[in-house]
Structures are given as structure tokens and as C-alpha cells.
Amino acid sequence: MSDFVPFPPPPPVESLALIGFRLNPASEGPQFYTLFAMEGENDRPLTRGGRILFFRSPAQSTRALSATDDETMRKLGPAPKELDALCDVAHALFLANSAAEDEDGLLLEAIACLDDLVRATRLNVPAEYMSVLSALSERLMQTSEFGTWMTEQGLDRERLEDAIMWCVGAVAVKASWIE
């Protein structure tokens, strides 16, 4: 009976995803990339020597995957060449500074992606930044409106911007690059 939906549903299958990153608002698309293991117990980026492994072109994804020291990620191959998601930090900072809503979920996606990346660095996010990012993430999972909520909560947009930029900096200092 192939018409039946299996119950319980099968567990998700961990796979590789190509994630692009945009930091410069003048850039049309991603400026650099990494691979993520997705749908497993924890989403995690490609690493080498305890550092997040980035590359400049999707064509380098196979080379990057072979350079990782994470054997479990290599087994998830082959490396994708098509973009699965974009972590648009530039647009997330724009939203954090001036928007009342995250209509497309870009701010929430950027915070979630940065959370996974910072976890991979094994650095501790300062408590003041963690609290604003966590509270905002919870809010954005319920509704896209966050402007009036931030005012009601006494959360400062500058602190939100600083929290995002701290995460970007932490990831940058714990990065490795495929040349």
C-alpha cells in the first residue's frame, strides 16, 4: 500500500548544503561559501583544524569537502554546487537597523546561521548579545513583526547590530580558506 504515509515518519537524512554569504550590501549575490551538514542532530559547517572552512566559488565545493578533517561530512558527499541558502548578513543588518518586520525571514535565517557558525568556533557569545539574539529569534519564530516589540522590551537596535557584528567577527577570526 504505497498510498499510506509512514507513521512515525522516517527520520530526516543528514545531507550537505551549499550556503552562500553576503556581507557587502553592494554585492548582487554571495561573496563566499561553505558547506553545512543539515538535517542531522546538529547543523554544522565544514571545518578544518577547528576552523570554519570557506571558499570563494561553488566550483570549489568538492575541493573544500576533500580538505575537511571531519570524516563524517565527507561521507555525506558529493559536494553540492548549487546554492541551497543565502545568509544575507548585509540585509539582516539593514533590517536590524531600520525595519519593523522581517517579512521574508531573512533576519531570522541570518541569526540561525550565525548561531550555527559561532557554535562551531567554540567561542562564547557575550551574555548581552546572546540575550538579544535569543529573544529576537523567539519573537521572529512567532511573528515577523519585531519593531514595536523591541521598543516594548527595551531592546536597542544598536545592541542588536553589535550582536550580529560580534558573531561575524568571531566567525572571521576562526575561519580558514580554500585558495
Q: What's this model's pTM, rounded to 2 decimal places?
A: 0.89
pLDDT at 3: 66
The angle, 0 to 180 degrees and rounded to 10, between the axes of the packed helices 106-121 and 157-173 is: 40
Class of residue 58 by CB neighbours under 10 A (exposed 0-12, middle 13-18, buried 19+): middle
Strands 51-54, 47-48: pairing is antiparallel
Under DSSP, the state recorded for 67 is H
- The pLDDT tens digits for 125-167 are 999 999 999 999 999 999 999 999 999 999 999 999 999 999 9
Beta-strand ranges (E) seen in 8-63 are 15-22, 32-38, 44-45, 47-48, 51-54
Separation CA 35–CA 84 (nearest Å) = 10
- The pLDDT tens digits for 49-70 are 999 999 999 999 999 999 999 9
The angle, 0 to 180 degrees and rounded to 10, between the axes of the packed helices 157-173 and 89-98 is: 160
- 8 A C-beta contact, residue 63 and residue 85: no
What mean pLDDT is reported for the chain? Answer: 92
